Amino acid sequence: MRFENRVSLVTGMDAEIGKAIAVALAREGSSVAGCCRSLEKGEEALRATATVGGKRLLIEGDVTRQSDSESAVKRTVEEFGRLDVLVNYGAARRVVGTIMEITEEDFDEETAADLKGVIWLSRYAIPVMAHNGGGAIVNLSSIAGSGVKGRALRSASKAALSSLTRAMALDHAPQNIRVNAILLGPTLTSDMLRRTEQVRLLEAEAPLKRLHTPEDIAAAVLFLASDEARCITGALLPVDAGRSLPGY
């Protein structure tokens, strides 16, 4: 198992993608701490990780608040004694519109989810990882970072997250901490499955004629966080069925 005797902290575990990542890490032998805003939804993910074995911990908190991020890392270390992998999944509602339609609330919510949570959690996780000889951080970003019509705020915020990923990779390589990001396209979640016509259109638009699932995202996280990717840092890996290929 690739993550035996390792500890992972996953945010957004009360969302479908966060749950899939936590289960995949647990299946590969990692102890998993999950941080989420809703304990009720997080409990479902916790039960799912229990079915594949491994130690687990659920932490309620809002990682866009610095104090909650500090507490999440502290509780993880208190429970498991170390921290090796941090997965930053800043799930937020999709803000649609041009800059003419963005509200102050929209701006604060999107940038907090994409940037504040990553910065605060990483700030407290990095010293712990460095103390144990290194670690891996995987940020979940989006192909929207290259600029998408009608998604001005999301485009700007995801571009910032991708740039932040590369800056962190440069800053913390001397501590043997790798930082990479996954760039997501439309994901085939259970909610999406209910919109059959939209799914058909999105699949038709992709070069591979399909949509990726939360499990596909989890597989990419496992690779980037594992020793198999020990020479990969600062990478922005699209998981989008080819949707972001130049010229497509």
Any domain includes 243: no
Q: What is the mean pLDDT of residues 178-199?
A: 85
Q: Number of C-alpha atoms within 13 angstroms, CB side, residue 146?
A: 10
Range of the domain at 233: 7-238
Residue 185 lies in a domain: yes
Q: And the tokens for 36?
A: 């989420």
- Count how many domains the chain has: 1
Q: What is the pLDDT of residues 147-171, one digit of tens each?
A: 888 889 999 999 999 999 999 999 9
How distant, in Å, are the alpha carbons of 11, 97, 117, 185 from that of 65? 13, 27, 7, 27
**Domain presence at residue 245:** no
Is residue 247 one of the residues assigned to a domain?
no
Q: What is the pLDDT of residues 88-104, one digit of tens each?
A: 997 666 678 899 999 99
46 within some domain: yes
Q: Is residue 244 part of a domain?
A: no
Give domain status of residue 248, yes or no.
Answer: no
| Residue 219 placed within a domain | yes
Instruction: Find the CATH number of the domain harbouring 40.
Output: 3.40.50.720
